[in-house]
Amino acid sequence: MHRLSRRGFLGAGVGTVGAAAVACATPGGGEAAKGGQGDEATDAQGADAAPLAGQTVAFDGPHQAGVQTASQANLALISFDLNEGVDRAGVRRLMNLWTEDARALCGGKNPVGGLEPEMVQTPANLTITVGFGEPLFDKIGLPDQRPGFLHDIPAFEHDDLDPRWGQTDLVLQICGDDAISVAYAMRHMIRSGVDYAHTRWFQRGLSHADGSMADGTTPRNLFGQKDGTVNPHGDEEYDQQVWIDAAADGAPDWLDGGSVMVARRIAMHMDEWEKLDRNSREVVIGRDLPEGAPLSGGDEFTEPDLTKTDETGLPVIDPKSHMALSRDDEKYDAEQRLLRRPYTYDLEPEPGSGDASNSGLVFLCYQRNPDKQFSAIQRRLDGGDRLNEWITHIGSSVYALPPGVGEDGDSYWGQRLLEA
């Protein structure tokens, strides 16, 4: 009897769970195959003894994997700038290389020329996702192909952005349930691209382990909050909120079926937060801690009643709470919802800082248009969110994620852009 992980059943509408996840371009979403059993990979380890090892997420499909995929335990977000003199032809060669390498690694296969075949045998739901930053388009001589909404997130009053985590030409998001496989995939991708691009920053993140959360449970961050309750579920909501429809969104054709990732690094001031009692923590968020239910009642997935008042006439959900302010706009349900896929960072305090913690979120969100989605919400939060006292945005970058690759689409990442 073989146990499949919870992740095999989450994240996408089409529950394709089975063999040959690597080669197939599943109609309706390649990423749906998360948790499928890559036959190649399990031979080496013995499937029954290591149920997680050979689980693969389909690489090919209309959308890139790693977005509509249940969060894996580990994140390595690596950004790059092009090397001096690399032009559009160079980026085309890089994307050809990276696409082949990523497909092999995510399928538990040794990439061409790889000297460490032992290190690829446990993909454990590995996904590798590419993104293009605003500066790339001038460098490859295609400024007209830059989508209008691909620019720096507007400056907000409470931001304290460090250029160390700033905008770059390219990004790779590598996620997986085995930290060693993620570390190896990162090394391989960096080496593979070394003639074309060099690293700018790494952001490592952690989430709950595969098997540590019941199916459909929303993960918690270090403030103890459930984070991701209002995320989209199912293909229809992903189409509404996440995947770009080029014609409807006024986006260039090459981005049809893609998305936009906003990566914010958010420091969480643990020492101060932990001085609050539980009631205050719940007021700040607008939800209770045990269930993540709105303070107006119900369970985690009950719609909050922002108009409900207590016996003294005060609103039960503070209008300045994080949850209330996020939603306080008539456009919220119509166009501002987005996919959040946050990871926790928890590092050594900077030497000499005197801090006892260096923790926070690598907050990743995905949407069709960051001007209308992330920035619209963040403008409200910046103006009054009670939570601002305990968090600071310290890094910001934005990347257009080209659509997936496979039989019916691009043969390598960004083909329609790079052969424009």
Instruction: Kindly state whether residue 215 participates in binding a copy of itself, applying the rule CB under 8 A.
Output: yes
Pick from 20, 142, 206, 316: which binds a copy of itself (CB under 8 A)?
A: 206
Residue number, 97 or 255, with CB nearest to a copy of itself: 97
Nearer to a copy of itself, 25 or 289 (CB): 289
Near a copy of itself by CB under 8 A: residue from 23, 180, 384, 411: 180
411 binds a copy of itself (CB under 8 A): no
- Binding track, positions 24-63, relative to a copy of itself; x by CB under 8 A: ---------------------xx--xxxxx----------
In the complex, minimum distance from the CB of residue 314 to a copy of itself, in angstroms, rounded to a whole number: 24
Among 152, 195, 274, 389, the residue binding a copy of itself under the rule CB under 8 A is 274
13, 90, 224, 228: residue in contact with a copy of itself (rule CB under 8 A): 224
Q: Which stretch binds a copy of itself (CB under 8 A): 85-93, 178-186, 241-249, 251-259?
A: 178-186
CB of 148 to a copy of itself, least distance (A): 32
Instruction: Name which position in 359, 367, 396, 415 contacts a copy of itself (CB under 8 A).
Output: 359
Out of 58, 94, 222, 400, name the contact with a copy of itself by CB under 8 A.
222
Q: Supply the minimum distance, in Å, between the C-beta of residue 112 and a copy of itself.
A: 16
Task: State the nearest-atom distance from the C-beta of 347 to a copy of itself, in Å.
Answer: 7
Residue among 167 and 336 whose Cβ is closer to a copy of itself? 167
Q: H/E/C letters for each residue in the chain? A: CCCCCHHHHCCCCCCCCCCCCCCCCCCCCHHHHCCEECHHHHHHHCCCCCCCCCEECCCCCCCCCCCCCCCCCEEEEEEEEECCCCCHHHHHHHHHHHHHHHHHHHCCCCCCCCCCHHHHCCCCCCEEEEEECHHHHHHCCCHHHCCCCCCCCCCCCCCCCCHHHCCCCEEEEEEECCHHHHHHHHHHHHHHCCCCEEEEEEEEEECCCCCCCCCCCCCECCCCCECCCCCCCHHHHHHHHCCCCHHHHCCCHHHCCCEEEEEEEEEECHHHHCCCCHHHHHHHHCECCCCCCECCCCCCCCCCCCCCECCCCCECCCCCCHHHHHHCCCCHHHHHCCEECCEEEEECCCCCCCCCCEEEEEEEEEECCCCCCHHHHHHHHHHHCHHHHCEEEEEEEEEEECCCECCCCECCCCHHHHCC
Q: Which residues bind a copy of itself (CB under 8 A)?
A: 1, 3, 5-6, 45-46, 49-53, 73-74, 115-119, 122, 124, 164, 177-181, 183-184, 186-187, 190-191, 198-199, 201-204, 206-215, 217, 219-220, 222, 224, 270, 274, 277-278, 289-290, 344, 346-349, 351, 356-357, 359
